Amino acid sequence: MNLKKEHSLRLIIGHFVKRNRIKKRLTQQQLVDRLKVDRQYVWKIENGKINLTTDYIEKIITSLKCTKKDFFDHFK
């Protein structure tokens, strides 16, 4: 991961979401449908514009069919 240390946690999480969404060949709309939110909300997540609860992060991980290990490995 080439994100600089000064990037906020929100941006790092957003990068994880976008990277894994694309890796799984999901459109934003497909992720929207899985999360049952609007498209703008997913855009805000992917661009680090929103504070997420740990419960919601878990929901995203599940929706992307990733593991918690995948999520935490993204911070290395």
Show me where the domains of the chain are located. 9-73
* pLDDT tens digit sequence for 15-61: 999 999 999 999 999 999 999 999 999 999 999 999 999 999 999 99
pLDDT score recorded for residue 75: 82
Taking the alpha carbons at both ends of the chain, their separation in whole angstroms is 8
How far apart CA 39 and CA 3 sit, in angstroms, is: 25
Give the contacts of 59 (CB within 8 A, at least 6 positions apart). Answer: 35
Residue 65 has pLDDT above 70, yes or no: yes
Q: What CATH number labels 9-73?
A: 1.10.260.40
Residue 4 has pLDDT above 80, yes or no: no
Backbone angles phi, psi at 63, to 5 degrees: -65, -30
Dig out the tokens for 18 from the structure. Answer: 């976008």
* pLDDT tens digit sequence for 38-48: 999 999 999 99
